[in-house]
């Protein structure tokens, strides 16, 4: 939908659990109601430009929001989702040392380079903030919204599968890690 954009970001939100009950066809239907359950706010899609340094700093903070040893520093529980970059990271390193690599089109992200990004507008954010990234430049709203983009995608792709693209690789824990909690005698499955 936005071929001119380098990196698409999602702030990791999800407001409902994944569906798991197939219908009579064996597929799991995605209804309009489910789209509203998953994304109750039909936010405007917004674009901006950031530097590689802003991207690295933001991603380190986002990883800390999920994996901080101090539970008081955790913010939510999902790693942000993205398309256009590939990241390897250590979940259980200290803040500022988690990212092992970030590549864009197969090459390391350049700290001084600028990249175009796309994310949802969050009501109340300053004009120069996008997806919790401060001091973005050239920020603009598009005519698209989250629901509109999702419906267009589902119209074009009648069957989708939730197989992760593996553009975020954790190197010090299983790829299937579902929690930051460790040292307990139970396992999420």
Q: Give the domain ranges of the chain.
A: 7-170
Q: Which residues contact 55 (CB under 8 A, 6 or more apart)?
A: 7, 85, 102, 109, 115, 133
Coil, strand or helix at 108: strand
Average pLDDT, the chain: 88
In this predicted structure, the answer to whether residue 42 has a pLDDT above a threshold of 70 is: yes
Distance CA 46, CA 141 (A): 4
pLDDT score for 79? 82
If you average pLDDT over residues 43-55, what whole number do you get? 97
What is the rounded CA–CA span in Å between residue 148 and residue 131?
Answer: 19
Instruction: Report whether pLDDT(162) > 80.
Output: no
**Residue 54 pLDDT grade (very low, low, confident, very high; cuts 50, 70, 90):** very high
Comparing 40-44, 60-64, 157-161, 174-178, the range with the smallest average pLDDT is 174-178
What pLDDT is attached to residue 167? 93
Task: Answer whether 0.85 is exceeded by the pTM.
Answer: yes
How far apart are alpha carbons 102 and 82 in whole angstroms? 12
178 neighbors 98 (Cβ within 8 angstroms): no
Is 46 a residue whose pLDDT tops 80?
yes
pLDDT of 155:
94
pLDDT band at 72 (very low <50, low <70, confident <90, very high): confident
Supply the pLDDT for residue 172.
93
* Res 41: pLDDT: 87
Higher pLDDT, 98 or 161: 98
Select from 42, 44, 41, 45 the least CA-distant residue to 118: 45
* Span 4-9, average pLDDT: 96
- Fold of the domain spanning 7-170: 5'-nucleotidase;  domain 2 (3.90.780)
Quick one: pLDDT at residue 104? Answer: 98
Extract the tokens encoding 12.
């990791």
What pLDDT, on a 0 to 100 scale, did the predictor assign at position 174? Answer: 87
Q: Give residue 131's pLDDT.
A: 86
């Amino acid at each position: 939908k936005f071929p001119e954009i380098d990196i698409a970001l999602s702030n990791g939100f999800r407001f409902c659990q994944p569906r798991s009950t197939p219908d009579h066809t064996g597929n799991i239907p995605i209804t309009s109601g489910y789209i509203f359950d998953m994304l109750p706010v039909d936010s405007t899609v917004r674009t901006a430009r950031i530097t590689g340094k802003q991207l690295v700093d933001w991603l380190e903070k986002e990883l800390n929001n999920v994996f901080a040893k101090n539970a008081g520093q955790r913010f939510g529980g999902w790693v942000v989702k993205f398309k256009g970059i590939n990241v390897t990271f250590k979940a259980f390193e200290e803040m500022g040392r988690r990212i092992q690599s970030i590549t864009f089109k197969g090459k390391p992200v350049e700290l001084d380079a600028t990249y175009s990004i796309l994310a949802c507008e969050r009501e109340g954010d300053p004009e120069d903030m996008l997806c919790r990234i401060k001091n973005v430049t050239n920020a603009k709203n598009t005519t698209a919204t989250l629901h509109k983009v999702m419906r267009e995608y589902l119209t074009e792709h009648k069957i989708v599968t939730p197989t992760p693209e593996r553009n975020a690789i954790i190197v010090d824990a299983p790829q299937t890690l579902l929690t930051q909690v460790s040292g307990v005698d139970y396992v999420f499955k």
